[in-house]
Structure 1
Amino acid sequence: MPIFEYKCNLCEKDFERLVFLGEENNIACPECKNKDVFKKMSASSFMGNSIGKCATSSPKGFS
């Protein structure tokens, strides 16, 4: 059950929504009730610190 970010194409309000399976096509703007919304691309919040360590360090002997 991921939380997605949306933007309304009518009133331009940004909002988040917890989306259950099967509800992807039934999202409406909480401000104006318009269903013409688009899903925004957002960064994940579960990356943690291990990605930074792996990406910035190199094996010994490589530079």
Structure 2
Amino acid sequence: MPIFEYKCNECKKEFEKLVFAGEDNNISCPECKSMDVVKKMSASSFMGNNSLGKCATSSPKGFS
């Protein structure tokens, strides 16, 4: 359940939204209720699902 950043194309408000699986098509602006929103690229988007695994595999021996 990641938090995504969005920007409304109508009122230009930027907001964050906790998105559950399957809900990413029904995002509306909390300010003007427009459905014309775009997902912004954020730093966490670049990490991907494998970043934790890479960090954990390079951790010191004995760390569990």
Q: TM-score, with normalisation over the residues of structure 2?
A: 0.69
Unaligned runs of 5+ in 1: 52-63
| 2:20 equivalent to 1:17 | no
Q: Which residue of 2 aligns with 1:6?
A: 6
Give the drift of 1:34.
0.2
Structure 1: 4+ residue segments shifted above 6 A: none
Unaligned runs of 5+ in 2: 56-64
Once residues 35 and 2 of structure 1 are traced to their aligned partners in structure 2, the CA distance between those partners, rounded to angstroms, is 20
Residue deviations 1:5-44, cap 9 Å, x none?
A: 0000000000000000010100000000000000000002
Report the count of equivalent residues.
51
- Identical-pair percentage: 72
Q: Which has the higher helix share?
A: 2
Q: TM-score, with normalisation over the residues of structure 1?
A: 0.70
Letter in 1 for 2:27: I
Larger radius of gyration: 1
RMSD, matched Cα: 2.5
Q: Which residue of 1 aligns with 2:31?
A: 31
Once residues 42 and 22 of structure 2 are traced to their aligned partners in structure 1, the CA distance between those partners, rounded to angstroms, is 21
